[in-house]
Amino acid sequence: MPVPAPRLSERLHAAGRQRITDGLWRSPPRVDYLDATHALVGGRRLTVFCHNDYLGLAHAPELATARLAAAARWGSGSTASAMVCGYSRAHAELEAALAEWTGRDRALLFATGYMANVGVLQTLLRGGDVCLQDKLNHASLLDGARLSGAMLKRYPHGDAEAAARQLALHPDVPALLATDGVFSMDGDIAPLADLSRLATSRRALLLVDDAHGLGVLGPAGAGTAAAAGLDQVQVPLLMGTLGKAVGTAGAFVAGPQELIEDLAQFARSHIYSTAPPPALAETTLAAVQLARTDHGRREHLDALIRHFRQAAAQLSLPLMPSQTPIQPLLVGDAGLACRISAQLAEAGFLVTAIRPPTVPAGQARLRVTLSAAHSMDQLDRLLDALERLFHQSPDSTLADGSATMP
């Protein structure tokens, strides 16, 4: 007789079957080749408008050269956690450069942004504390709060006044306020100045996840806090990732010296993980120098964003409000978003359909992302394809009725 499946796996299988029934099962496209703007997927060469390489550094020749030299010098791995023997001169130099770039005393490296956020929140928060977060925060911030045992309270997206009202309900409880700097699925920017004033008045610690702002916004690309004119007193904890605009991999948390030193002692996801390879740290240091000084990349990216938004408005495309490289087109229905994404692939473009549970039900979208590596000609060809797909049929409309669909 067959052995009955354990209850836990049965429950997971049931959830998987339900996801298939709802049309929400996700499979990653297998990429057989990738360069700055193209990917080979299923034998087709597609122009990519869905990655997070905002400055086009991931395939910059300067970084390829730096990576080869660093690998020859350091090898391929770090061999241990930072506290054992995995912390190298390359790591120290990268942390110092990241701190200087963001205007902070000290930076601490993590393997990923997810590990950084979970590690920081689990270290700072305890049961009985309150963690207040924007409803559209990244999953890592939400998971970190839940794993800490603190009370997780979520305020309406971008609403600092609602956040203040929620904090007022817990006047004598240690509090941490966490927000994305740039929201990854909407592309809009958090009201950091208002949130900073709120955190200061309430003596709450403010954490900003600047994964999608670093390299793109602010003087020399120093991020959303710098763009808002906020220093480390006003934003004590700044998390940044290195696999987006910086073009490599990993993450860091930056802030006042004592606070970051304490995190290095107690953040379990830092202490008990193998350190990022020194060769990667050295390559990232070269990438940070490029991101800080190659202003032409940001200028070209800004021109692409302005052009896309102006053209999308003229074409009556359902564009969401964003001044960042993340330019979502709100479709509504998940199945329809997937069909449009497939039709864009037929037209030669890779643009991912974002569906629940990543976004709320009824808010599926095409998440168009722009890179300094894109040319104006590539962008115009994408706009031509979007115009054809969004307006070719008079019988199908978006959820808000603003444009027609195939």
Phi, psi of 39 (to 5 degrees): -140, 145
Q: Is 293 assigned to a binding site?
A: no
Q: Find the catalytic residue in 184, 322, 341, 371.
A: 184
For residue 204, count other CB atoms closer than 10 A to its CB.
Answer: 23
| Nearest CA-CA partner of 251 in 350, 138, 95, 110 | 110
Q: Find the catalytic residue in 212, 270, 300, 374.
A: 212
Phi, psi of 45 (to 5 degrees): -90, 115
Asked about 244 being catalytic, the answer comes back as yes
Rounded Cα distance, 221 and 208, in Å: 16
Compute and round to an integer the Cα radius of gyration of the chain: 22
Asked about 396 being catalytic, the answer comes back as no
Angle at 177 between CA 176 and CA 183, to 5 degrees: 145
Asked about 9 being catalytic, the answer comes back as no
Q: Is 273 assigned to a binding site?
A: no
Q: Is 369 assigned to a binding site?
A: no
Rounded Cα distance, 300 and 192, in Å: 26
Q: Is 200 assigned to a binding site?
A: no
Q: Is 54 assigned to a binding site?
A: no
DSSP E strands in 234-389: the ranges are 237-241, 251-255, 326-332, 349-350, 353-354, 364-369
Q: Is 241 assigned to a binding site?
A: yes
Angle at 321 between CA 319 and CA 324, to 5 degrees: 100
Rounded Cα distance, 320 and 400, in Å: 12
Q: Find the catalytic residue in 78, 91, 196, 244.
A: 244
Strands 44-48 and 106-110 turn out to be: unpaired
DSSP H or E segment with residue 396? strand 396-397
Structure tokens at 211: 């994964």
The rounded Cα 266 to chain-centroid distance in angstroms is 25
**CB 179 within 8 Å of CB 192:** yes
- For the purposes of burial, counting CB atoms within 10 Å of the CB of 52, is it exposed (0-12), middle (13-18) or buried (19 or more)? middle
Q: Is 26 assigned to a binding site?
A: yes
Q: Is 59 assigned to a binding site?
A: no
Strands 237-241 and 44-48 turn out to be: unpaired
DSSP H or E segment with residue 308? helix 295-314
Q: How far is CA 175 from CA 88, 122, 137, in A?
A: 35, 13, 17
User: Quick one: CA dihedral 320, 323, 327, 328, positive or negative?
Assistant: negative
Classified as helix, coil or strand, 106 is strand
Q: What positions carry a catalytic annotation?
A: 184, 212, 244
User: Which residues carry a binding-site annotation for substrate?
Assistant: 26, 138, 358
User: Which residues carry a binding-site annotation?
Assistant: 26, 113-114, 138, 184, 212, 241, 358
User: Which residues carry a binding-site annotation for pyridoxal 5'-phosphate?
Assistant: 113-114, 184, 212, 241
